[in-house]
Chains A and B, each alone.
Chain A
Amino acid sequence: MTSIILLSIFGILNLFMGFMRSNKVLLPGAMLLLLAVFGANLADWNVVHAPYFNNMLVVDNYTVAFTGIVVLTTIVLLPFSRSYVVAGETNLAEYYALLLFSLVGAVMMIGYNHLIMLFVGIEILSISMYVLAGSSKRDSRSNEAALKYFLMGAFATGILLFGIALLYGATGTFVLSDLAGAVAAPENASLQPMLYIGILMMIIGIGFKVSAAPFHFWTPDVYEGTPTFFTAFMSTVVKTAGFAAFLKLLAVALPGAQGFWLPTIQAMCALTLLLGNVGAAVQTSTKRMLAYSSVSHAGYLLIGLVASRGNLTGDAASGIFFYSLAYSIATIAAFGVLKLVADHRQRDDYAALNGLGKTNPLLAFSMTVAMLSLAGIPLTGGFFGKFFLLAAAAGQGYIGLVVFAVIMSMVGLYYYLRPLIAMYLRPAEEGATPVPVDGIQTATLALLALLSIVLGIVPGFLSGIL
Chain B
Amino acid sequence: MDQTIPEVIRTVPLQYYVFFASALFAIGVTGVLVRRNAIIIFMCVELMLNAVNILLTAFSAYRADPNGQIFVFFIMAVAAAEVSVGLGIIVMIYRNFQTTDVNLLSRLKW
A and B touch in the complex (CB under 8 A): yes
Residues on A lying within 8 angstroms of B by beta carbon are 115-116, 119-120, 123, 127, 130-131, 134, 137-138, 140-141, 143-148, 150-151, 154-155, 157-159, 161-162, 164-166, 168-169, 172-174, 194, 220-222, 224-225, 283, 288
User: CA A130 – CA B42 in complex, angstroms?
Assistant: 14
B7 contacts partner chain A, Cβ-Cβ < 8 Å: no
Query: A137 and B92 in contact (CB under 8 A), knowing A119-B74, A161-B49, A162-B48?
Result: yes
Docked Cα-Cα span, A218 to B74, in Å, equals 26
Closest A residue by C-beta to B59: A169
With beta carbons under 8 angstroms apart, the residue of A147, A166, A169, A222 that contacts B105 is A147
User: Are A138 and B107 in touch, CB under 8 angstroms?
Assistant: no
* Inter-chain contacts of A134 with B (CB < 8 A): 89, 92
- State A141–B49 Cα separation when bound (angstroms): 29
A131 to B82, CA, bound (A): 10
CA A164 – CA B68 in complex, angstroms? 10
Determine if B45 and A140 form an interchain contact, defined as CB atoms under 8 angstroms apart.
no
Q: B42-82 toward A: CB 8 Å interface, digit per residue (1/0)?
A: 10010011011001100100010101101100110010011
A123 (CB) vs chain B CBs: closest residue: B78
Contact of A174 with B85 in the complex, beta carbons under 8 Å: no
CA distance A161 to B106 in the complex (A): 28
Query: Given the complex, which residues of A lie within 8 Å of B42, measured CB to CB?
Result: 151, 154
Instruction: Determine whether the beta carbon of A130 is less than 8 Å from that of B81.
Output: no
B11 contacts A by Cβ under 8 Å: no
Which residues of A have CB within 8 Å of B105?
143-144, 147-148
A155-B32, A162-B55 are contacts. A147–B96 as well, Cβ < 8 Å? no
Can you list 26 residue pairs at the A/B interface with Cβ under 8 Å? A115-B71, A119-B74, A119-B78, A120-B74, A127-B81, A131-B88, A140-B96, A143-B93, A143-B96, A144-B106, A147-B93, A147-B102, A151-B102, A161-B48, A161-B52, A162-B25, A162-B51, A164-B52, A165-B52, A165-B55, A165-B56, A168-B68, A169-B18, A172-B59, A173-B67, A224-B108
- Is the contact region of chain A dominated by helix, strand, or loop, or is it mixed? helix
Interface of chain B, main secondary structure = helix
Check A147–B89 contact: CB distance below 8 A: yes
The complex places the Cα of A138 from the Cα of B59 at a distance, in Å, of 46
Question: Is B75 a contact of A161 with CB atoms below 8 Å?
Answer: yes
A78: min CB distance to chain B, Å: 23
State the CA gap A169–B108 with chains docked (Å).
40
Known contacts A130-B89, A161-B52, A169-B59; is A120 also within 8 Å of B38 by CB? no
Q: B107 to A141, Cβ gap below 8 A?
A: yes
Partner among A123, A158, A288 whose Cβ is within 8 Å of the Cβ of B81: A123
Chain A residues, Cβ within 8 Å of B106 = 144
Chain B: how many interface residues by the 8 Å CB criterion? 44
Best-surrounded residue of A134, A145, A147, A157 (most CB of chain B within 10 A): A147
- How many A-B residue pairs lie within 8 Å, measured between CB atoms? 125
B19 to chain A, nearest CB (A): 12
Nearest CB of chain B from residue A231's CB, rounded to whole Å: 12
Complex: A155 Cα to B52 Cα, angstroms: 13
Residues of A within 8 A of B82 (CB): 123, 127, 154, 157
Query: A residues within 8 A CB of B81?
Result: 123, 127
Q: Give A177 to B17 CA distance when docked, in angstroms.
A: 27
Smallest CB separation, B76 vs chain A (Å): 12
Smallest CB-CB A-B distances: 4 pairs: A158-B48, A221-B108, A165-B55, A161-B52
CB within 8 Å for A144 and B108 given contacts A161-B52, A168-B59, A172-B65 = yes
Q: Given the complex of chains A and B, what is the CA–CA distance between A161 and B86 in angstroms?
A: 18
A137 vs B89: C-alpha distance when bound (angstroms): 9
A141 near B45 (CB under 8 angstroms)? Answer: no
Question: How long is the Cα–Cα vector from A137 to B15 in the complex, in angstroms?
Answer: 47
Contact of B38 among A127, A151, A283 (CB under 8 A): A151
Q: Are A165 and B59 in contact (CB under 8 A)?
A: yes
Q: How far is the CA of A49 from the CA of B109 in the complex (A)?
A: 47
Flag if B75 contacts A145 (CB, 8 Å): no
Which one of A123, A151, A165, A225 contacts B108 once the chains associate, using CB atoms below 8 Å? A225
Q: Are B85 and A150 in contact (CB under 8 A)?
A: yes
Cα A140 to Cα B109 in complex, Å, equals 14
How far apart sit A173 and B56, CA to CA, in the bound complex (Å)?
11
Chain B neighbourhood of A159, CB < 8 A: 48
Q: Is B97 an interface residue (CB 8 A)?
A: yes
Q: How far is the CB of B99 from chain A (nearest CB, A)?
A: 11
Least Cβ–Cβ distance between A97 and chain B, in angstroms: 14
16 additional contacts (CB under 8 A) given A130-B85, A146-B93, A168-B68: A127-B81, A127-B85, A130-B89, A131-B88, A134-B89, A140-B107, A141-B107, A144-B107, A146-B92, A147-B105, A150-B89, A155-B45, A164-B52, A165-B52, A168-B56, A220-B108
- The B6-39 residues at the A interface (CB cut-off 8 A) are 18, 21, 25, 28-29, 32, 38
> What is the CA–CA distance of A174 and B67 in the complex, to the nearest angstrom?
8
CB neighbours (8 Å) of A157 from chain B are 45, 49, 82
A151 near B41 with CB under 8 A, answer: yes
Question: For A154, what are the chain B residues with a Cβ–Cβ distance below 8 Å?
Answer: 42, 45, 82, 86
CA distance A119 to B68 in the complex (A): 13
The CA of A234 and the CA of B110, in the complex, are separated in Å by 20
